[in-house]
Amino acid sequence: MTSVIDGKAVAASVLEECRAETAELKARGITPGLAVVLVGEDPASKVYVGSKARTCGDLGIYSRKIELPATTTQEELIAVVEELNADPAIHGILVQSPPPKHIDEEAVVRAIDPRKDVDGFHPENVAKLALEDNTGFVPCTPAGCMRLLAAAGVKTAGAEAVVIGRSMIVGKPMALLLMAKGSDATVTVAHSRSRDLPAICRRADIIVAAVGRPEMVKADWVKDGAVVIDVGINRVDDPTTKKGYRLVGDVAYDEVAPKCAAITPVPGGVGPMTIALLMKNTLQAARQLT
């Protein structure tokens, strides 16, 4: 029997933890605060920023949405970040990705005070993750994947884990988390230059797919009883839906699911976890800064 890992339910329980932690901080006179900076008019980014602000509001976290025009220069954006760095009401700062092309995203991330870098993308937090120093911030999506594995009762110690994708946002931090002490998996990181990806995946007890290619992972890539975490969010045309598209993961769910011990669906798997872990990171920042 395949167990479908319910990301919405696990995220809801993480958010309940956050609600209690927020109340505790407020009782000590500390209101946690998150600033989200959006440059330009990207419609998907607007939706993400809106839902981050709504989740903050629901938990009692102060949120500040800063919307800047697409013509904002890098210097202007960095000046906004520096103001937020100095603002005691703000504990977490994130600049919604992707910024317009004329902005060097890495330079902006480096301008964020690492103690407020709740996305976990600043080099200091990347280093802390590699060093297994838990005062740093872990990127929200891979942290969410680890929570899903734990919630599903998956034993990672000694397991063969294959992470497909080596991005700084998902693949690399995911590999570090799986190999860290306490998780103790044996990790292979595959990417666009990997030879014979199906054979690599067939070894895996745990597959984490973070590629951005619709339904790439097929049934014959997956061994019986594997656990599959599908991070991919891809739009595919579907004229039968009102919007004209639907969302699919990087895993061919219908054919892969019957072989798995456990699998995350798309949507409703990893997606809801990312925002929940962002709230967790904001509370960690508020605790550490006060």
Catalytic residues: 52, 96, 119
DSSP state of 153: T
Q: Which two tokens stand for residue 238?
A: 């579907």
Query: Quick check: helix, strand or coil at residue 68?
Result: strand
At closest approach, how far in Å is the CB of 155 from ligand NAD?
A: 23
211 contacts ligand NAD (rule: CB under 6 A): yes
Per-residue binding string, ligand NAD, 161-200, x by CB under 6 A, is ---xxxx-xxx------------------xxx-x--x---
The answer to whether residues 94 and 71 touch, using CB atoms and an 8 Å cutoff, is no
In this complex, which beta carbon is closest to ligand NAD, that of residue 49 or of residue 78? 49
At closest approach, how far in Å is the CB of 172 from ligand NAD?
A: 8
Dihedral sign for Cα atoms in the order 140, 145, 217, 167: positive
Q: Please, which residues bridge with residue 37 across strands? A: 66, 95
At closest approach, how far in Å is the CB of 165 from ligand NAD?
A: 3
C-alpha span between 207 and 190 (Å, rounded): 11
- Side-chain-side CA neighbours of 52 within 13 Å: the count stands at 32
At closest approach, how far in Å is the CB of 7 from ligand NAD?
A: 9
Which one of residues 19, 46, 155, 213 is an interface residue with ligand NAD (CB under 6 A)? Answer: 213
In this complex, which beta carbon is closest to ligand NAD, that of residue 118 or of residue 164? 164
b (16+ CB within 10 A) / e for 158-185 = ebbbbbbbbbebbbbbbbbbbbbeebeb
Per-residue binding string, ligand NAD, 119-148, x by CB under 6 A, is ----------------------x-------
Residues 222-241 that bind ligand NAD (CB under 6 A): 231-234
At closest approach, how far in Å is the CB of 166 from ligand NAD?
A: 4
b (16+ CB within 10 A) / e for 140-154 = bbbbbbbbbbebbeb
Q: Is 90 exposed, middle or buried (0-12, 13-18, 19+ CB in 10 A)?
A: buried
Per-residue binding string, ligand NAD, 85-124, x by CB under 6 A, is ----------------------------------------
Which one of residues 270, 278, 283, 285 is an interface residue with ligand NAD (CB under 6 A)? Answer: 270
Dihedral sign for Cα atoms in the order 142, 99, 136, 61: negative
Which one of residues 95, 161, 163, 210 is an interface residue with ligand NAD (CB under 6 A)? Answer: 210
Binding site for ligand NAD (CB under 6 A): 141, 164-167, 169-171, 190-192, 194, 197, 210-213, 231-234, 270-271, 274
